[in-house]
Amino acid sequence: MKLNRNAVGWLNVSPLLAVMVPFFIVPIIVVFIASIMQTDGFGGMFWDPSLENYSYIFKSDLTYRLYFETVKFAVLTLVFSAFIGFWVAHFLVFHVRSKLLAMGLFLVCTVPFWTSNIIRMISWIPLLGKEGLINRALIAMGAIQEPLEFLLYSDFAVVVAYVHQLTIFMIVPIFNSMARIDKRVVEAAVDAGASKFDIMRYIIVPMSKSGIALGAIFVVSIVMGDFFVVKVMSGGGTASVVGAFYEDIGVLQYPSAAASAIILTILVMLMVAAILRIVDIRKEITQ
Amino acid sequence: MGTGNGDIELAGVTKSYDGETYAVDGINLKIPDGAYCCLLGPSGCGKSTILRMIAGHEDPTHGEILIGGEDVVGLDPVQRRTAMMFQSYALFPHLSVRDNIAFALRVRGLSKTERYGKADEMMEKVHLTEFANRLPSQLSGGQQQRVALARAAITEPRVLLLDEPLSALDEHLRIRMRAELSRMQRDLGITFIHVTHTQMEAIALADTVVVMDRGEIRQAGPAREVYASPNNRYVAEFIGGQNVLSGKVGDVNGSKATLAGPTFSNIEIPLLAGTPLHSGQSLDIAIRRDDIDLLRLGGNGVPPGSTGVEGAVTGVEYQGTFVKVMMDAAGEGEFVAYVPERRFFEDTLSVGDRVLAVWQIDHAHLLA
Amino acid sequence: MTDAIAGKAAAPAKRRVRRASSDRPWTFYVLAGFFAFYVIALYGPMISIYILSFQDVRGGLVFPMRGFSLHWFNELIMQTRTGDVSGSFRRSIYLAIAVTVITVVFSFMAGMAFRRRFRGDTIVFYLMIGSLVAPGLVLGIGIGLGFDMAGIPTNWFTSALGAQLSWTLPFGILIMFAVMSRLNGDWEEAARDLGASPAQTIRLVILPILAPGLIAVALFGFTLSYDEFARTLQTAGAQNTLPLEIWSMTLNVTSPALYALGTVSTVISFLIIGVSLGSIILLQRRNAARMNISE
């Protein structure tokens, strides 16, 4: 009479699976297979399964430095974007009284998202450069004599570019979860004598943690998987995990690149799993 | 479309979601065509599940549901010719009032002129014509309810199923819409099944009241019967308006018997043919709150043909036409008398006063 | 003793006076300032490169502005030094449209599936999260190698399309989750009760109610695709999409032509978003107007 509930579910997710299987599961398997193959030194691979590529990576000091750098950028970006995202969303939800104005300001925050990330990144060059606006302004004000070198082509520039690009991924989910907090709960807390800090600690942060977690997943996975911002904004001074194996590919060293890719993927999945352990995102967003 | 026979019979209907606990447990119920039937019970008693099974939104685990003599289990709502009015009204938020009402005709493939013609007729009937082009969000609660009713009625169902139709309205509107529902039912002449947890709503509207508890029917019958002669303690307490006294039967001799409990002794109880009483058995009796007279101690005592208990007044609530006087006469349970307003103020009682609550012996009602 | 009492009484009075002059808490002003700073930092750099793209031939990568002309836009179109900019624009837009359509339809279906529990739903959910967070370049390499092994040439409208979907679909579905949490199951039951078939219920009830959410998914899908870089890099085949083109320019071109490309790409994304939003508003206006006329 009626289709079984499970059958309907699977039928509806079948188009999704038709994409996920060939474009997510299979590629990961392919990369894994490549990672246990050997290079013939001329850009080709041959089948001689071993974990040599992995042991080589784990023996290299460079690996640990690369991972340290990449995780460092992920954590710094996460901290700054979460901080900015939280307070921007808090301002829009709890301090702007007109709903229409809040929506309008929210859109103002999201507009740059519709423009190219790469363009947004390079747009820092005329500002942060040695002859950029900031250095000129500081010199004109007499605050410094020599232009500040660390502004561009440095770790600082990398973090600035990441935060500039990714804070939106924090604002949207945090705004979403904060908007669902019943204002009367806050009023009840004020009536009960809660201070601003108590309200923040016991109401707003716990109730927006699903948004923070979702934003953290976006930010961590994007920074960990990126190499472009580091490459351009560090001026070549700093490398990244992905950047390193992209260079391997450039010289057709597929097996070692693949091994590095698998390790990175596992690390990212573990980081995301850790976030998901703290917050059951599925339950939170479908409720 | 003919009127169709809207009599309903549930035979051994059971519903279990997990195979262990039963939301509805072996219900047998007959509702005649054109009746106004209320399913009454606390939340979670299975009343909404029964409604949804009649509507065809859920299938019973066991049992038969007959509408007009035909087993409808497995049929679509449309084939059953039932229509449901949802507690949330479930008005389509993107459609105007007219389009909401015409929805059933639209999915049946009627042309725009045809369906708008019928919808306009229906809107006239429920006084919605001026709101035809509004969206549901632009209507008041009462107007939304009328739209929901009109939308369900336009399908010309033989049974209209109403799931807590008045619960979203304020007290004042609820009483007005109650009258409206009653009028609609008379006009349409079809069976209404109305789920509610409000006793007064059920008693005011229904020809047949079905009191439910934990998936079972505790009593089904005309409103007056259920109110005035509850079968058991659960019904007496849930319907309200009754004082329930529990005790043990004392002497039984000829035409008289007595009941004794922790806070009272020697209440006389009526002896009915067909319900033999034995000395020492446990028994619950119910006495309507408005059958109780309060006398000051030290007066003439219990009048002939009456019996009573003694207790202290614990609370007084003014209700307008009567005064609700609460007493500590029934042990842990509450004991309440509804004293007519004038009589109360002839000799005002206050909290702490000791009084004698008396009633005519044959007004007491033995519970199973 | 009396002084102490008087002091205590005075304190709240003083607070009330301060409140009357401005009923906003001090945190409002701090956060408003913070917000303003964020918006300036968000837009400032972008606006500066839009301005710098209008320099004349003497223009450099930094301020001050040297002259005013459309020189660098000309250079962009003439493709003297740059690659196939207009071709990559076209490809990116076609690709983004395909990704958008597929993302909306598939996300809607998956969103419907996830409204109820079904056996194995958790596996599908985590598969989706996995696909969302997997490093883009890793998937790109895997897809590229996979196509290579299977002997199929990579191409922007095959392998790159799939690679982008592996990222836009989870995104779209997460948005659908948020949207569908507001979809009341009673509406579907009411439609069924009134005789609508499942297809009619979707067409006449669910889709119109979810329309704003589906538009959001579409806009996200379009933007994520139009700007996708890491997953496309190894899968686009011989012909570049726009972000790949911009990327190769950033490595080779050190003239304001780069900024001109940024200006053009921004104008185009705003045009597309504007046209789609505008047409939606227009449609709604017309609906509203129709209602008023019949009233």
In chain C, which residues have their Cβ closer than 8 Å to the Cβ of A136? 63
| Residue A90 covered by a domain | yes
Report which secondary-structure segment, H or E, holds B339: strand B335-340
Interface residue B106 vs chain C (CB under 8 A): yes
- Who among A95, A129, A249 is closest to C62 (CB)? A129
**Intra-chain end-to-end CA distance of chain C, in Å:** 74
Give mean pLDDT, residues A268-276: 91
Mark yes or no for CB contact C48/A123 under 8 Å.
yes
- Joined together, the tokens standing for residue A4 give 């079984």
- Who among C27, C42, C234 is closest to A196 (CB)? C27
Instruction: Say which amino acid occupies C219.
Output: L
- Who among C186, C195, C211 is closest to B108 (CB)? C195
Question: Residue B2 has what pLDDT?
Answer: 39
Question: Residue C290 has what pLDDT?
Answer: 57
Residue C120, pLDDT above cutoff 90: no
Question: Residue B228 has what pLDDT?
Answer: 87
Write the pLDDT tens digit of every residue in A88-101. Answer: 999 999 888 888 88
Using CA atoms, how far apart are residues B6 and A170, in angstroms rounded to an integer? 58
Query: What integer best gives the mean pLDDT of chain A?
Result: 87
- Joined together, the tokens standing for residue B239 give 């319907």
Min Cα separation C170/chain A (Å): 9
Residue A94, Cα to own-chain centre: how many angstroms? 26
- C65: burial class by Cβ within 10 Å (0-12, 13-18, 19+)? middle
Question: Residue B229 has what pLDDT?
Answer: 87
Residue C124, pLDDT above cutoff 70: yes
Orientation angle between helical segments C159-180 and C207-226, nearest 10 degrees: 140
> Which chains does A contact via 3+ CB–CB distances below 8 A?
C
The yes-or-no answer to whether B8-233 and B241-367 have a common fold is: no
Distances (CA, A) of C205 to A265, B287, B342: 42, 53, 58
pLDDT above 70 as % of chain A: 97
3-state secondary structure chain A: CCCCHHHHHHHHHHHHHHHHHHHHHHHHHHHHHHHCCEECCCCCEECCCCCHHHHHHHHCHHHHHHHHHHHHHHHHHHHHHHHHHHHHHHHHHHHCCCHHHHHHHHHHHHHHHHCCHHHHHHCCHHHHCCCCHHHHHHHHCCCCCCCCCCCCCCHHHHHHHHHHHHHHHHHHHHHHHHHCCCHHHHHHHHHCCCCHHHHHHHHHHHHCHHHHHHHHHHHHHHHHCCCHHHHHHCCCCCCCHHHHHHHHHHCCCHHHHHHHHHHHHHHHHHHHHHHHHHCCHHHHHHC
Mark yes or no for CB contact C62/A132 under 8 Å.
yes
Q: How many other CB atoms are there within 10 angstroms of residue B237's CB atom? A: 18
Mark yes or no for CB contact B103/C196 under 8 Å.
yes
- Joined together, the tokens standing for residue C65 give 């502005």
Mark yes or no for CB contact B88/C184 under 8 Å.
yes
| Sequence-distant (≥ 6) Cβ neighbours of residue A46 within 8 angstroms | A37, A38, A40
Chain A segment 173-232 residues within 8 A of C by beta carbon are 176, 196, 214, 217, 220-221, 224-228, 232
SS3 B34: coil
Query: How would you write the pLDDT of chain B (368 residues) with one tens digit per residue?
Result: 334 688 899 999 999 988 888 899 989 999 999 999 999 999 889 899 999 999 999 999 999 999 988 899 988 888 899 999 999 999 999 899 999 999 999 999 999 999 999 999 999 988 899 999 999 999 988 899 999 999 999 988 999 999 998 888 888 888 888 898 999 899 888 999 999 999 989 999 999 999 999 999 999 999 999 988 898 889 998 888 889 888 888 888 777 788 888 878 788 888 876 677 888 888 888 999 999 999 888 777 788 888 888 889 999 999 989 999 999 887 777 899 999 999 889 888 889 899 999 999 888 888 87
Give mean pLDDT, residues A216-232: 90
Min Cα separation C143/chain A (Å): 5
Closest Cα partner for B241 from B263, B226, B258? B226
Using CA atoms, how far apart are residues A111 and A225, in angstroms rounded to an integer? 24
In chain B, which residues have their Cβ closer than 8 Å to the Cβ of C116? none
In chain C, which residues have their Cβ closer than 8 Å to the Cβ of B152? 193-194
Interface residue B131 vs chain C (CB under 8 A): no
DSSP string, B128-176: -GGGTT--GGGS-HHHHHHHHHHHHHTT--SEEEEESTTTTS-HHHHHH
Using CA atoms, how far apart are residues B67 and B70, in angstroms rounded to an integer? 5
Give mean pLDDT, residues A134-144: 85
Mark yes or no for CB contact A245/C137 under 8 Å.
yes
Give mean pLDDT, residues A111-128: 84
Using CA atoms, how far apart are residues B7 and B37, in angstroms rounded to an integer? 11
> Looking at residue B75, what DSSP letter applies?
-
Question: Residue C292 has what pLDDT?
Answer: 53
Using CA atoms, how far apart are residues C24 and C28, in angstroms rounded to an integer? 6
For residue C64, is the peptide bond before it cis, meaning its omega torsion is within 30 degrees of 0?
yes
Which value does ipTM take for this structure?
A: 0.87
Backbone angles phi, psi at B261, to 5 degrees: -135, -175
Question: Among B89, B103, B115, which would you mutate to test the C interface (most chain C Cβ atoms within 10 Å of its Cβ)?
Answer: B103
- Who among C193, C200, C209 is closest to B77 (CB)? C193
Question: Residue C213 has what pLDDT?
Answer: 87
Instruction: Say which amino acid occupies C1.
Output: M
In chain B, which residues have their Cβ closer than 8 Å to the Cβ of C184? 88, 90
Backbone angles phi, psi at B288, to 5 degrees: -60, 140
Min Cα separation C286/chain B (Å): 14
Pairing of the two strands B24-31 and B36-40: unpaired
- Joined together, the tokens standing for residue A47 give 């089948």
| Residue A232 covered by a domain | yes
- Who among A17, A31, A287 is closest to C142 (CB)? A31
* Number of alpha carbons in the 13 Å side-chain half-sphere of residue A100: 0
- Joined together, the tokens standing for residue A27 give 């590629």
pLDDT band at C83 (very low <50, low <70, confident <90, very high): low
Mark yes or no for CB contact B104/C205 under 8 Å.
no
Min Cα separation C255/chain A (Å): 12
- Who among C184, C186, C196 is closest to B107 (CB)? C196
Least confident of A108-112, B108-112, B151-155, C144-148: A108-112
State the sign of the Cα–Cα–Cα–Cα dihedral B205, B208, B209, B210.
Answer: negative
| Residue A31 covered by a domain | no
DSSP string, chain C: -HHHHHHHHHHHHHHHHHHHH--S-HHHHHHHHHHHHHHHHHHHHHHHHHHHTT--TT--SSSSP----SHHHHHHHHTSSS--HHHHHHHHHHHHHHHHHHHHHHHHHHHHHHTS--TTHHHHHHHHHHHHHS-HHHHHHHHHHHHHHHTPPP-TTTHHHHHHHHHHHHHHHHHHHHHHTT--HHHHHHHHHTT--HHHIIIIIIHHHHHHHHHHHHHHHHHHHHT--HHHHTTSTTSPPHHHHHHHHHHH--STHHHHHHHHHHHHHHHHHHHHHHHHHHHHHHHHHHHHHH-
CATH of the domain at A273: 1.10.3720.10
Mark yes or no for CB contact C134/A265 under 8 Å.
yes
Residue C82, pLDDT above cutoff 70: no
Closest Cα partner for A259 from A60, A97, A32? A32
Fold of B8-233: Rossmann fold (3.40.50)
Give mean pLDDT, residues A237-250: 82
SS3 B281: coil
Closest Cα partner for C137 from A39, A157, A260? A260
Using CA atoms, how far apart are residues B250 and B268, in angstroms rounded to an integer? 10
Q: Which residue of A has its CA nearest to C131?
A: A24
User: Where do the domains of chain C lie, and which CATH numbers do they carry?
Assistant: 23-79+255-289 (no CATH), 83-252 (1.10.3720.10)
Instruction: Say which amino acid occupies A198.
Output: D
Mark yes or no for CB contact B78/C195 under 8 Å.
yes
pLDDT above 70 as % of chain C: 88
SS3 B259: strand
The domain tally of chain A equals 1
Question: Among C193, C203, C207, C214, which would you mutate to test the B interface (most chain B Cβ atoms within 10 Å of its Cβ)?
Answer: C193
Domain coordinates of chain B in residue numbers? Answer: 8-233, 241-367
Give mean pLDDT, residues A129-146: 83
Count of positions (residues) in chain B? 368
> Which chains does C contact via 3+ CB–CB distances below 8 A?
A, B
Mark yes or no for CB contact B77/C209 under 8 Å.
no
Instruction: Check residues A126 and C11 and name the one with the higher pLDDT.
Output: A126
Instruction: Say which amino acid occupies A221.
Output: S
Residue B188, Cα to own-chain centre: how many angstroms? 22
Using CA atoms, how far apart are residues A119 and A109, in angstroms rounded to an integer? 17
When computed from its CA atoms, the radius of gyration of chain B, rounded to whole angstroms, is 25
Mark yes or no for CB contact A24/C131 under 8 Å.
yes
Domain hosting residue A111, numbered range: 60-286
3-state secondary structure C177-228: HHHHCCCCHHHHHHHHHCCCCHHHHHHHHHHHHHHHHHHHHHHHHHHHHHCC
| Residue A52 covered by a domain | no
* Number of alpha carbons in the 13 Å side-chain half-sphere of residue B367: 26
Closest Cα partner for B7 from B81, B104, B84? B81
Closest Cα partner for C229 from C242, C219, C218? C242
Residue B343, Cα to own-chain centre: how many angstroms? 30
| Residue A129 covered by a domain | yes
Interface residue B84 vs chain C (CB under 8 A): yes
Residues β-bridged to residue B219:
B211
Mark yes or no for CB contact A119/C52 under 8 Å.
no
Give the right CATH number for B241-367 from 2.60.40.1080, 2.60.120.10, 2.40.50.100, 3.40.50.720: 2.40.50.100
Interface residue B76 vs chain C (CB under 8 A): yes
Question: Residue C128 has what pLDDT?
Answer: 93
Using CA atoms, how far apart are residues B347 and B332, in angstroms rounded to an integer? 27
Distances (CA, A) of C34 to A169, A209, B176, C29, C38: 18, 21, 54, 8, 6
Closest Cα partner for B209 from B220, B225, B198, B224? B220
Using CA atoms, how far apart are residues A123 and C238, in angstroms rounded to an integer? 28
Mark yes or no for CB contact C192/B108 under 8 Å.
no
Interface residue A156 vs chain C (CB under 8 A): no
Q: Which of A179-193, A246-260, B104-118, C270-284 has the highest mean pLDDT?
A: B104-118
Mark yes or no for CB contact C45/A126 under 8 Å.
yes
In chain A, which residues have their Cβ closer than 8 Å to the Cβ of C266? 115-116, 119
Using CA atoms, how far apart are residues B260 and B265, in angstroms rounded to an integer? 4
